[in-house]
């Protein structure tokens, strides 16, 4: 699958995603299995130099924080697209994982279980 950016993500609402294995007020009626979004990113030379200057002052390294957040969002959005393509309307048990593949190159994985749910009656 091509890279997914946030504006391309389908509309499974955030309240239909959860790190738990249930959604309050809903029952799971179909399980589509594991879905995932994988993003591999490297730091640019300019970003690394800018972040190096930020370390001199201390505190939050905003250049890396922004890169990390964008990468996690892209992995999440890709997972949501995979869930929608499977026929799901919710994703449960969501987790993130990150691995350094080589110096300056990181893989971010977002995964969960794609499910179809129905509102509880009564």
Strand partners, 113: 34, 92
The 3-state DSSP class for residue 98 equals strand
Indicate the pairing of strand 26-42 with strand 105-119: antiparallel
The 3-state DSSP class for residue 21 equals coil
Q: Are 44 and 117 in contact (CB under 8 A)?
A: no
pTM of the prediction?
0.78
Q: Is the pLDDT at 67 greater than 90, yes or no?
A: no
Q: What is the pLDDT of residues 17-49, one digit of tens each?
A: 999 999 999 999 999 999 999 998 776 555 555
What pLDDT is recorded for position 65? Answer: 75
């Amino acid at each position: 699958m091509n890279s997914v950016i946030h504006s391309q993500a389908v509309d499974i609402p955030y309240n239909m995603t959860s790190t738990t294995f249930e959604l309050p007020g809903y029952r799971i009626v179909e399980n589509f299995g594991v879905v995932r979004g994988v993003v591999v990113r490297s730091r640019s030379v300019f970003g690394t130099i800018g972040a190096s200057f930020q370390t001199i002052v201390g505190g939050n390294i905003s250049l890396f924080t922004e890169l990390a957040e964008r990468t996690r969002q892209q992995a999440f959005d890709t997972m949501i697209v995979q869930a929608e393509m499977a026929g799901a309307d919710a994703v449960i048990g969501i987790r993130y994982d990150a691995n350094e593949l080589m110096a300056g190159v990181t893989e971010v994985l977002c995964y969960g279980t794609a499910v179809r749910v129905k509102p509880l009656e009564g």
